[in-house]
Structure 1
Amino acid sequence: MSVAPKRPDPPVVGKVTHHSIELYWESAGQTSDSGKGDGRLRFCLQEADKSQGWGNVHIGYSYSYTVTGLEPSSSYKYRLRVTSDHGNSEFSPAITVCTTKEPPSGEQLHRIINLTQDIDKLKKILETGDNLIDVPDKFGYTPLMVCAQKGLTNIIEVLLPYGADVNAQNSSGKDAMMLASFAGHLEVVQLLRANGARYDHQDKGGSTSLHWAVDAGHLKLVKWMIRDGAAIDVVDFSSKWTPLMRCCAMSGHVEVARELFFAGAEVEKKDKDGKTALMIAALNGHRDLVQLLVERGADPFMSTEFGMSALDMARSFDKKKVVQYLEGVMEKSRKEKRRVTGDD
């Protein structure tokens, strides 16, 4: 007489990690000899949920299964049922398995920094000595870079004594100070500088930390960086723009430009296309910055090798206020020249 399979033993525990549990079982001769069906056994593995209900995690013919996606240091309960051509067995007694503690990892370190900023947990990971301090995230940012961008000074103060590299650069060449500079975190920049961060680093586009601070128009930070010794006229690689030229192209921030002038920024320096800061400001419509440049000695009559002046560029881009101002300046200059030479 053919009968359903007998109640199986609980699953046997194999390899256990912080996020997975391997379970396996044996058929123990539970096959049918009646000739009905293919005689194979099918197994149903269930896991208890928090309410002690049960849910299927695996149904199939294999004699093992690895449950994944589990939480570290957590208990899980499993039971097994066998099905043959003649019916189902009872479920096995349940077995309880606990996942292991999550090992320290760069991913864990980044998770703490991005989500909880739990300093005690952070220190525990760093104290393992597993050399995780500069492990990059999926965007290529080290923990220090992430903190610099976010302005997490308190976390940076934890990372630095463990040897975080203040001058490490990501795939685009940006370092922690460049990220902090663009975000305007003065206190972070000061802390990084006190721990060896350098102003002469350039990213893959040739921009320095000062370029990035100027781009974002962070006046207080720009002032401090200049007084701290940041080079004023370093050019980037693509456009050959100095920080002053970048100011003229990007924010048009008059007070930032004024600080660069006070520090000795070269007014008539030309970029790769022969444009001066005045020309760049004019074609971008920064009327007040154009006025400041003229007042600081920029020559409105200067032109590129193709004969384009700042006024020509302003006209080409329909920057009416700039055109009106430059026309007035140039007419006044011509009148003064005629008066001096007696050509009136």
Structure 2
Amino acid sequence: MEPQEITPCSKPHPPVVGKVTHHSIELHWDLEKAARRQGPQEQWFRFSIEEEDPRVHSYGIIYAGYATQHVVEGLEPRTLHRFRLKVTSPSGEFEYSPVVSVSTTGEPISSDYFHRAVNMNDEDLLLRIFQGGHVKVDVPNKFGFTALMVAAQKGYTRLVKILVSNGTDVNLKNGSGKDSLMLACYAGHLDVVKYLRRHGASWEARDLGGCTALHWAADGGHCGVVEWMIKDGCEVDAVDTGLGWTPLMRVSAVSGNQRVASLLIEAGADVNMKDKDGKTPLMVAVLNDHEELVQLLLDRGADASVKNEFGKGVLEMARVFDRQNVVSLLEERKKKQLPKKSSIR
């Protein structure tokens, strides 16, 4: 028995308008005919969405196929668009629907405009933006930073307070896993650090490498921030997930800052803790040629006799990497620690 030909029996309904934004319009259509699909695709109804070009008052196809919805994108805000649906039967007959008119919405406050106010430390503009409403306070900029992250990093305390009072999430993280507290700690903005702590920021948070805010504060070298963090109860010997480094090891590797190292050691940082390769802070300081920090670590109880997992000690490392000043320091210290030979009478 020959399959019965299906033809458009009546004028189709116009496309139904779904979600509309300032740059897109969602359309869907004729689910009834789509539900009657049987057999191979060539026996299905085919749909086309056509849009009017207002300059020449003619229609052009913007979608053709067998789907029942389409999103028109890349539109301008507050612009009127006119669409019609063309339904074509398997035999090639077709009908047009009535035209539907729909306008895109007004453009919301641009995230670029919002971030520009923060970057410029423009408190009045930021307040006006919030008064205007419809602000996505946590929308990131092109670098993945929220407005709070930017304000915290730059030390704009008043903007930080405005953003927090307008509902920003203090614990959001950027692409590398750093939150606003870490950024403020690294940059040394103590007022911002204190404010974020009062409003829910946590010392326990870690970035993608497992580093805490104290790791970043140690990198930044701001003693006032490090000292306050320790008093506020952050963990001194937190270990990252990459190399297994504590904040003291970061100091030994990056800056060699003796004052920061002293604060950490006085707060209980372990001068002989080993990383994943068996290196101690002393070894890391030797490898990075931080001579004065090497002296400090030795004075604070660092064990120069410890070997790493390859059986290498600090003196051997210093020689291999030609750290001449450190070699002299270690050899001199070793001589002083040798027991004096008693004279034979």
TM-score, normalization by structure 1: 0.68
Identity of aligned residues (%): 49
The equivalent of 1:233 in structure 2 is 237
Instruction: Please report how far the alpha carbon of residue 67 of structure 1 lies from its aligned counterpart in structure 2 after TM superposition.
Output: 11
Instruction: Please report how far the alpha carbon of residue 331 of structure 1 lies from its aligned counterpart in structure 2 after TM superposition.
Output: 1.8
The equivalent of 1:150 in structure 2 is 154
Secondary structure of 1:335's match? Answer: coil
Secondary structure of 1:275's match? Answer: coil
Instruction: Please report how far the alpha carbon of residue 292 of structure 1 lies from its aligned counterpart in structure 2 after TM superposition.
Output: 1.0
Q: C-alpha separation between the residues in 2 aligned to 1:101 and 1:198? A: 39
| Maintained 8 Å contact 2:108/2:134 | no
Say whether residues 1:328 and 2:332 are aligned partners.
yes
Q: C-alpha separation between the residues in 2 aligned to 1:146 and 1:268? A: 37
The equivalent of 1:140 in structure 2 is 144
The equivalent of 1:267 in structure 2 is 271
Which runs of no fewer than 5 residues in structure 2 stay unpaired?
1-21, 24-51, 58-73, 79-104
Deviations 1:201-223 (A, max 9, x none): 11001111110111121112111
Deviations 1:158-191 (A, max 9, x none): 1111111111111211000111111111111111
| Maintained 8 Å contact 2:184/2:190 | yes
User: Is the deviation greater in 235-244 or in 124-133?
Assistant: 124-133
| Maintained 8 Å contact 1:135/1:142 | yes
- The amino acid that maps onto 1:278 is L
The equivalent of 1:310 in structure 2 is 314
Q: How does 1:75-114 map to 2 (within 5 A)?
A: 103-114=108-119
- The amino acid that maps onto 2:318 is A
- The amino acid that maps onto 1:163 is G
Aligned pair partner of 1:214 in 194, 214, 218: 218
Secondary structure of 2:338's match? Answer: helix
Q: C-alpha separation between the residues in 1 aligned to 2:213 and 2:56? A: 64
Q: C-alpha separation between the residues in 2 aligned to 1:101 and 1:237? A: 47
The equivalent of 1:168 in structure 2 is 172
Instruction: Please report how far the alpha carbon of residue 240 of structure 1 lies from its aligned counterpart in structure 2 after TM superposition.
Output: 0.3
Deviations 1:209-245 (A, max 9, x none): 1101111211121111111111100011111000001
Q: C-alpha separation between the residues in 2 aligned to 1:133 and 1:67? A: 24
| Maintained 8 Å contact 2:218/2:251 | yes
Instruction: Please report how far the alpha carbon of residue 101 of structure 1 lies from its aligned counterpart in structure 2 after TM superposition.
Output: 7.5
Aligned pair partner of 2:126 in 101, 117, 122: 122
Closer, same or farther: CA 328–163 of 1 in aligned 2, 3 Å: same
| Maintained 8 Å contact 1:167/1:176 | yes
- The amino acid that maps onto 1:180 is A
| Maintained 8 Å contact 1:205/1:236 | yes
Instruction: Please report how far the alpha carbon of residue 129 of structure 1 lies from its aligned counterpart in structure 2 after TM superposition.
Output: 4.6
Q: How does 1:285-296 map to 2 (within 5 A)?
A: 285-296=289-300
Q: C-alpha separation between the residues in 1 aligned to 2:271 and 2:179? A: 29
The equivalent of 2:49 in structure 1 is none
Q: How many residues align?
A: 257
User: Is the deviation greater in 251-260 or in 188-197?
Assistant: 188-197
Closer, same or farther: CA 25–303 of 1 in aligned 2, 3 Å: closer
Which runs of no fewer than 5 residues in structure 1 stay unpaired?
1-16, 28-65, 73-99
Deviations 1:277-319 (A, max 9, x none): 1111111111111111111111111111322111111111111
Q: How does 1:60-71 map to 2 (within 5 A)?
A: none
| Maintained 8 Å contact 2:129/2:135 | no
| Maintained 8 Å contact 1:301/1:330 | no
| Maintained 8 Å contact 2:138/2:146 | yes
Deviations 1:37-96 (A, max 9, x none): xxxxxxxxxxxxxxxxxxxxxxxxxxxxx998x9x9xxxxxxxxxxxxxxxxxxxxxxxx
TM-score, normalization by structure 2: 0.68
Closer, same or farther: CA 309–26 of 1 in aligned 2, 3 Å: closer
Closer, same or farther: CA 321–158 of 1 in aligned 2, 3 Å: same
Secondary structure of 2:175's match? Answer: coil
Instruction: Please report how far the alpha carbon of residue 107 of structure 1 lies from its aligned counterpart in structure 2 after TM superposition.
Output: 2.8
RMSD over aligned CA atoms reads 3.0
Closer, same or farther: CA 105–289 of 1 in aligned 2, 3 Å: same
- The amino acid that maps onto 1:301 is S
The equivalent of 1:32 in structure 2 is none
The equivalent of 1:276 in structure 2 is 280
Closer, same or farther: CA 102–120 of 1 in aligned 2, 3 Å: farther
Aligned pair partner of 1:299 in 282, 287, 303: 303
Instruction: Please report how far the alpha carbon of residue 112 of structure 1 lies from its aligned counterpart in structure 2 after TM superposition.
Output: 1.5
Instruction: Please report how far the alpha carbon of residue 267 of structure 1 lies from its aligned counterpart in structure 2 after TM superposition.
Output: 1.2
